[in-house]
Structure 1
Amino acid sequence: MSSSQPQKPVTLITGASGGIGSAVARALAGTHELILAGRGGERLAALCTEVGGRPLALDLTRPETFEEALAGLGRVSNVIHNAGVVELGTVAEQGHAVWTHTLAVNTVAPAELTRLLLPSVRQERGTVVFVNSGAGLSASGGWGSYAASKFALKALADALRAEEAARGVRVTSVYPGRTATEMQRKVRSQEGADYTPEAFIDPQTLAQTIAFVLNAPRDAMLTDLTVRPGPQA
């Protein structure tokens, strides 16, 4: 009898040192080999040490650098597109630089990263998860640039799902409501409101949701998941 064990899936997470990304890394540690993508620095290095992950330095504003950065990466089974930026402001006041930066990080970077990693994900019959937002389903005043990038991310996910289903690749969009992260702290500051993390979704809850998506039986594909804060006790 062979004593060999099945290979663990290799999961790449962008924005890994952020609140949701680090929670996902911790939720998957031990059952997945992890590639943790970010801008580098002490937080990413510390997380890699904690969960046994490999760091991957990526500048999401420069997709032309991705191919070189990914060279020699090896197997990749799953990709979790978690990194994102937000800058609130009305259409009347936000210039093209904000729109260009937001769309580059939130939409163009995931598209290019997916394109480059797709051959490996196909071979692994893996899963691509796009961490979207409630703003990717409904746009409110002051959220134009961010919502536009997330609507586009939904379109990317929907097209990819249709294109890759026959090759065994699963594609899921997750639409979190307000989540207790540093990004949410920034948003609340821009809104002139208090940051009350207990009123928002715990990043660990989202991490467990994403883990469930990755580990779901092969006869199911979870296409779109909306997660909202629960009722307050």
Structure 2
Amino acid sequence: MRVHLVTGAGSGIGLALADRLEARGDRVLRLTRDVVDLADADAVRRWADGLGETRLDSVSHVAGTVDLGTVADLDLAAWRRQLDVNLTAPAVLTAALLPALRAARGTVVLVNSSAGLTAHAGWSAYAASKYGLRALADTLRAEEAEHGVRVTTVFPSRTATPMQEKVHEQEGRTYDSSRWIRPETVVEAIVHVLDLPADATIPELVIRPR
């Protein structure tokens, strides 16, 4: 039985991914807000160290947080939380779980954002965290290739999730989920990455609405 860890498994893409993997018979470790606060790096490390898994076929970093604001106006707490949750937590969690990933020659999936490819006004801290996440993935990919660990960054455009609803609220726009990519569509892409034969890797995957 394959074993996966999914962060952000309480809603949106993370929930859809965890449900999909369990439905096909895989075992899924669901990391949600009530399990550990991803903004607390020390707590993340303690939780990972106590997990007790010797093999992990994949770790999918789906959790994220967003608070829009300009460089001039965004407060320090919002900067710290977005960098802690969106960038530091994936780094700390992955580092702690590398022995289990290496043992299974597993895959790390980092769900990024179109904001990790192009930064726009008002997206200061969030875009910075996502650009950093891409750099983390590139570094990890180069470091872990010799250990058989594959690393994929997925860049979905706006997806119909609770986070997207929050973004619309912050933008002062009406939210219409039918306009955006379904979480299940992003999950299809992630599952394709997880099931890829061992002779290939997908470094990056960009998903846009039609």
TM surpasses 0.5: yes
Q: Give SS of 1:116's match.
A: helix
Give distance in 2, aligned partners of 1:72 and 1:177: 32
2:27 alignment counterpart? 33
Deviations for 1:86-143, whole angstroms, at most 9, x for unmatched residues?
0011111012211111100000000000000001100100000000000001100000
2:14 alignment counterpart? 21
Q: Give SS of 2:30's match.
A: strand
Flag the structure with larger Rg: 1
Structure 2 counterpart of 1:73, one-letter code: G
Q: Give SS of 2:89's match.
A: helix
2:126 alignment counterpart? 146
| 1:74-223 equivalences in 2 (<5 Å) | 74=53, 75-223=55-203
Structure 2 counterpart of 1:219, one-letter code: D
| RMSD (Å) for aligned C-alpha atoms | 1.0
Residue-pair matches, total: 207
Structure 1: which 5+ runs fail to align?
1-7, 41-56
Q: Give SS of 2:206's match.
A: strand
1:73 alignment counterpart? 52
Deviations for 1:176-222, whole angstroms, at most 9, x for unmatched residues?
00000011011011111110111100000011110110001111101
2:45/2:92 contact within 8 Å kept: no
Q: Give SS of 2:45's match.
A: helix
Give distance in 2, aligned partners of 1:82 and 1:118: 18
Give distance in 1, aligned partners of 2:25 and 2:190: 14
Give distance in 1, aligned partners of 2:80 and 2:159: 25
2:108/2:152 contact within 8 Å kept: yes
- With 60-69 and 104-113 compared, the bigger mean Cα shift is at 60-69
Runs (4+) off by over 3 Å: none
Structure 2 counterpart of 1:76, one-letter code: L
Give distance in 2, aligned partners of 1:86 and 1:226: 20
**Alpha-carbon offset, residue 73 of structure 1:** 2.8
**Alpha-carbon offset, residue 72 of structure 1:** 4.1
